[in-house]
Amino acid sequence: MTKLSIVIHTEEEFDWDGGFYRKNNQVTHGKELTEFCEELISVGAKIVFAMDYAFVTSEQGQEVIRHFQTHHSDSVEFATHLHPWVNPPFQDEEPVPEKYSYPGNLPYELEYAKLKVLTEKIEEIVGYRPTTYLAGRYGVGDNSYKILNELGYKVDVSISPFADFRHQHGPDFSGYTNEIVNQQSIQRIPHSCGYISRFRPLSLRLNRSTELMNTLNSNILGKIILKIFGVKRVRLSAEGYSLKENMELLKVLKLEPVEHLIFSFHSPSSKPGSTPYVMNNRSWNSFNSTTVKILEACSSSGIDIRLISNKQS
């Protein structure tokens, strides 16, 4: 049975193009996030809150944590999301250069120190040690898996299949599909992302191995084929993707078959005006209803919506 986990990048509201400053740590969407997650739980969702330092130390963030621990402790898991620029110890210059907004690019000692502080803060607030990790900006690096082991993590959800962020100093996932990978005892479950097109057999081929896309992309004829068949890369998320695109991606990934899907969004998207995906009430209504419809479709098609940590599910 295909499994699906909902991972919320649970973090401060910040201007995504405005630079990486430690003062950008406001969390004012607690009420909206609580209401939205209540709605998702009412349609059968279980939710993994991957929380960063700004969220977990904020008043509203702690209210959200208390609320779900009190009312839905079996339906939620608290996990870790490292935004290095708002997470002590602060040894970085300000603004933090884009390269170091990816935790995996930090020197070993600093990546370790930041993740240790965050892990212990989450443990202090929620009462257990998180075992699921999501790097800020999907930024895992060469030292990340050793550090995750040392801090007791079991699962990492930072792979963003087929994506190459090297042009902005980020990681290169162009060799990864949606398959689970084990690395240094850490189970790496990718954030679901894949190709859809007008011709499903082509979508399936493109999602099964990364080679075909690399070949097609390297010559004019290949690029024409991609265009003719309307090939598009889609993340399993209502942030920037339509219901139709999500439903087609779900069909294709289920056929692969992908063992464990990750549906994701950013917590500030629950409050209109806080992310580029949800700028006003109209886009909020569409984001909300698309998310609910995707999850309802998952439930009714027999997908097992579950938490990630074994202890919690």
Nearer to Zn ion, 80 or 288 (CB): 80
Least separation, in Å, of the C-beta of 12 and Zn ion?
A: 9
Q: Per CB under 5 A, which region of 3-11, 112-120, 252-260, 268-276 contacts Zn ion?
A: 3-11
Nearer to Zn ion, 81 or 260 (CB): 81
Least separation, in Å, of the C-beta of 183 and Zn ion?
A: 21
How many positions of this chain bind Zn ion (CB under 5 A)? Answer: 3
Nearest residue (beta carbon) to Zn ion:
9
Nearer to Zn ion, 11 or 77 (CB): 11
Nearer to Zn ion, 84 or 161 (CB): 84
260 contacts Zn ion (rule: CB under 5 A) = no
Least separation, in Å, of the C-beta of 138 and Zn ion?
A: 9
Nearer to Zn ion, 158 or 197 (CB): 158
Nearer to Zn ion, 104 or 231 (CB): 104
Q: Which residues in the 126-185 window bind Zn ion by CB under 5 A?
A: 136
Nearer to Zn ion, 10 or 288 (CB): 10
Cα separation, 76 vs 86, whole angstroms: 24
Residue type, 296: E
Least separation, in Å, of the C-beta of 27 and Zn ion?
A: 13
Q: Residue 186, Cβ neighbours under 10 Å: how many?
A: 19
β-strands 76-82, 132-135: how paired? parallel
9 contacts Zn ion (rule: CB under 5 A) = yes
Q: Which residues, in sequence order, are CB contacts of 54 under 8 Å at separation 6+?
A: 11, 12, 24, 25, 26, 27, 61, 83, 86, 87
Tokens representing 296 are 């309802």
77 contacts Zn ion (rule: CB under 5 A) = no
Cα separation, 256 vs 193, whole angstroms: 13
Q: Which residues in the 10-39 window bind Zn ion by CB under 5 A?
A: 11
Least separation, in Å, of the C-beta of 66 and Zn ion?
A: 22
Least separation, in Å, of the C-beta of 217 and Zn ion?
A: 28
Least separation, in Å, of the C-beta of 267 and Zn ion?
A: 9
Q: Contact positions toward Zn ion, by CB under 5 A? A: 9, 11, 136
